[in-house]
């Protein structure tokens, strides 16, 4: 599984995402300039220049026409994927932590951190409107201890907004009323990332408590737990196999004093059902901050604290890998006749 090394960023990678068709890979880092790559061979197709702070999140629409980026410079920007031109800028009161397209590709939601006297907010925008003001804002009141959101995403058919928090909780918001529909503690420590599968029937969390958890997206029931010996920064569900990919590593502040081998900066492969690790891919020289699998199932990308994106093409042995569950033996001719009587 020899990777392409994509060197287009000067600072740690924060997010990597494929478009819906899987032919484009988007990456962003703390260096303010997101990039787009050809997923087949790692060629860089262009950049999106205009932000003045770290890019925490991005999301491409279903038709690869528009890209949204969320930045610490308190703005969310709408870009043309074809030209790289900034079409609109949506200003917030605090750093923008996450952004997500609604399934109709006409609306999107952002979540921003609290700043000075302003609370954290969920903001919903309509891109067809000439106005850059939100059509709906949901205030997240301050608690006794400051709590920040880490991720936001729409559930199936835009029914709710799912928000992960740095205190280990997950909240489900009604986008119309702004009320909390459900809230539960998923982890003992910060939830670094939350990702759905393509059909939005399952979602997986990644936490600093050394675990990743799989949930039913309909009833929010906890299904599986994938345990590691290091903080998990990102996890993704494979669309073509019953596999989970996890990435993480030791805390970034101590990376310079630890070798890649000791720091445990591998992408780890787990079986979705049996919760067992069956392989890993090494290469990064810092904690893995972001992972994404191509919707076509042929490759995956990882981005790390070392500033590199590694694009891995799955080899034939992996693509041909059989499910470890033994198939039922074919009945012999005599048994088949006996069963039919």
C-alpha to C-alpha distance for 138 and 144, rounded to whole angstroms: 19
Burial of 132 (0-12, 13-18, 19+ CB in 10 A): middle
Which residue, among 234, 248, 249, has the nearest Cα to 203 in the 3D structure?
234
Q: How far apart are the C-alpha atoms of 213 and 313, rounded to whole Å?
A: 26
Number of C-alpha atoms within 13 angstroms, CB side, residue 153?
Answer: 22
Instruction: Evaluate whether 185 touches 169 at the Cβ level (below 8 Å).
Output: yes
Each residue's pLDDT tens digit, 31-75: 999 999 999 999 999 999 999 999 999 999 999 999 999 999 999
Which candidate, 267, 239, 111, 98, places its Cα nearest to that of 175? 111
Sorting pLDDT into bands at 50, 70 and 90, what band is 5?
very high
**63/145: higher pLDDT:** 63
Nearest Cα to Cα of residue 304 among 52, 50, 1, 7:
7
Contact 115, 94 (CB under 8 A): yes
Q: Strand order in 44-47's β-sheet?
A: 13-18, 24-29, 35-38, 44-47
Q: Which of 239, 252, 230 is nearest to 307 (CA)?
A: 252
Q: Is the dihedral of CA 28, 31, 34, 38 positive or negative?
A: negative
User: Across residues 159-175, what is the average pLDDT?
Assistant: 96
Domains of the chain: 3-321 (2.130.10.10)
* CA contacts within 13 A on the Cβ side of 132: 10
Q: What is the token pair recorded at 123?
A: 């903001």
- Looking at residue 262, what is its pLDDT? 53
Report whether pLDDT(188) > 50: yes
pLDDT at 341: 46
Output the pLDDT for position 336. Answer: 47
- Closest by CA to 263, choosing from 239, 241, 278, 247, is 247
Spatial distance between the Cα atoms of 270 and 260, rounded to a whole number of angstroms:
21
Q: Yes or no: say if 304 and 288 are a contact pair by the CB < 8 Å rule.
A: yes
**What is the structure's pLDDT at 268?**
95
Contact predicate 308/326, CB 8 Å: no
Confidence (pLDDT) at 327: 53
Q: Residue 103: pLDDT above 70?
A: yes
pLDDT tens per residue across span 189-232: 999 999 999 999 999 999 999 999 999 999 999 999 999 999 99
Please name the residues in contact with 291: beta carbons below 8 A apart, sequence gap of 6 or more: 16, 234, 235, 236, 245, 246, 247, 267, 300, 301, 302, 303
Whether residue 233 is predicted with pLDDT greater than 90 in this model: the reply is yes
Both structure tokens of 129: 């409107």
pLDDT exceeds cutoff 60 at 157: yes
Each residue's pLDDT tens digit, 263-314: 578 999 999 999 999 999 998 989 999 999 999 999 999 999 999 999 999 9
The pLDDT tens digits of the residues spanning 9-32 come to 999 999 999 999 999 999 999 999
Share above pLDDT 70 across residues of the chain, in percent, rounded to a whole number: 90
The pTM is what?
Answer: 0.90
Looking at per-residue pLDDT, the higher value among 323 and 111 belongs to: 111
Beta bridge partners of 138: 122
């Amino acid at each position: 599984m020899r990777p392409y090394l994509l060197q287009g960023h000067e600072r740690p990678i924060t997010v990597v995402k494929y478009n819906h068709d899987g032919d484009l890979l988007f990456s962003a880092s703390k260096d303010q300039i997101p990039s787009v790559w050809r997923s087949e061979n790692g060629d860089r197709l262009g950049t999106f220049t205009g932000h003045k702070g770290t890019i925490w999140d991005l999301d491409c629409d279903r038709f690869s026409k528009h890209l949204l980026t969320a930045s610490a410079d308190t703005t969310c920007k709408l870009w043309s994927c074809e030209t790289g031109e900034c079409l609109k800028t949506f200003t917030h009161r605090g750093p923008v932590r996450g952004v997500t397209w609604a399934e109709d590709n006409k609306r999107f939601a952002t979540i921003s951190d609290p700043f000075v006297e302003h609370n954290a907010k969920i903001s919903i925008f309509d891109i067809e409107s000439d106005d850059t003001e939100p059509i709906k804002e949901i205030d997240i009141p301050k608690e006794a201890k400051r709590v920040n959101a880490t991720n936001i995403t729409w559930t199936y058919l835009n029914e709710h907004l799912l928000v992960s928090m740095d205190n280990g909780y997950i909240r489900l918001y009604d986008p119309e009323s702004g009320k909390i529909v459900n809230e539960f503690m998923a982890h003992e420590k910060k939830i670094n990332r939350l990702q759905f599968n393509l059909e939005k029937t399952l979602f997986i969390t990644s936490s600093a408590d050394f675990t990743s958890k799989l949930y039913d997206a309909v009833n929010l029931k906890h299904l599986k737990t994938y345990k590691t010996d290091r903080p998990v920064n990102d996890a993704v569900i494979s669309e073509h196999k019953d596999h989970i990919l996890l990435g993480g590593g030791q805390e970034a502040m101590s990376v310079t004093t630890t070798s890649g081998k000791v720091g445990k900066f591998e992408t780890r492969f787990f079986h979705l059902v049996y919760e067992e690790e069956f392989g890993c891919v090494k290469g990064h020289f810092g904690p893995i901050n972001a992972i994404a699998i191509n919707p076509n199932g042929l490759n995956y990308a990882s981005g790390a604290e070392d500033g590199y994106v590694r694009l891995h093409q799955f080899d034939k042995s992996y693509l041909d890998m059989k499910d470890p569950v033994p198939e039922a033996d074919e009945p012999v001719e005599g048994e088949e006749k006996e069963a039919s009587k």
